[in-house]
Amino acid sequence: MPTPPESSGQATEATTPTDASSASSSDALPTVKAIYTDGACSGNPGPGGWGTVLYFDDGSVHELGGRADQTTNNRMEMQAAIAGLQALIATGQTTPVELFTDSEYVKKGITQWISGWKRRDWQTSAKKPVLNKDLWQELDTVNQAAKQQTGAPIQWTYVRGHTGNVGNERCDEIARAFSQNQTISLKQHPQARHLNA
């Protein structure tokens, strides 16, 4: 499992967004090597936030985050993964990527359970409606689009939370800040501004 570089927590210098189609080769976006994601919720349900960090092969990062006023932890975990895959798709990258999540719900849902849910018209094996169907459908769509674009399935990897994994800890920090409506500096890769949701 790749270990992301230490994060200083400082935002990079603001630059003018670069249009990917007009970027020169010296301004080309590096290759995404790993995506880390996490969600947080105060109250569950309650105010929530999500954090996503894209790690590039040159050691740089691009951080994303967002919030919802009334949500659950599982929905925020899913939203973080959706945002990570949407950003990957926006890069136009054609090489495979590993996505790390500390949510067994997300990992098992997208890698094991979803095919059965779809076969049963979005019902569980107990014939109950699948919770968070809207986000599962969106996650399935971006997961399939990323697979088609990169030519290989996304490698979904579970990482235990709160164990000192730098990527997971940074995503947790971002998600918690957004869930508590606090200001947090996000590192922004100068050639990746178009990836922001």
Task: Please pick, among 48, 63, 65, 172, the residue that the annotation labels catalytic.
Answer: 172
- Within 10 angstroms of residue 68's Cβ, the number of other Cβ atoms is 19
27 annotated as belonging to a binding site for a ligand: no
102 annotated as belonging to a binding site for a ligand: yes
φ/ψ bin of 10: left (φ > 0), alpha (ψ from -120 to 50), beta (otherwise): beta
Is 69 designated active site? no
pLDDT, one tens digit per residue, over 129-162 is 999 999 999 999 999 999 999 999 999 999 999 8
pLDDT at residue 55 greater than cutoff 80: yes
Contact 52, 172 (CB under 8 A): no
φ/ψ bin of 59: left (φ > 0), alpha (ψ from -120 to 50), beta (otherwise): left
| Residues 41-50, mean pLDDT to the nearest whole number | 96
pLDDT, one tens digit per residue, over 88-112 is 999 999 999 999 999 999 999 999 9
Task: Please pick, among 38, 63, 169, 173, the residue that the annotation labels catalytic.
Answer: 38
Is 162 designated active site? yes
104 annotated as belonging to a binding site for a ligand: no
Is 38 designated active site? yes
pLDDT at residue 116 greater than cutoff 90: yes
pLDDT, one tens digit per residue, over 15-44 is 222 333 333 344 688 999 999 999 999 998
63 annotated as belonging to a binding site for a ligand: no
3.20.20.10, 3.40.470.10, 2.102.10.10, 3.30.420.10: CATH of 29-195: 3.30.420.10
Is 121 designated active site? no
Nearest to 181 by CA among 65, 36, 74, 10: 65
Nearest to 73 by CA among 51, 49, 52: 49
Task: Please pick, among 63, 77, 169, 173, the residue that the annotation labels catalytic.
Answer: 77
Amino acid at 154: I
Is 51 designated active site? no
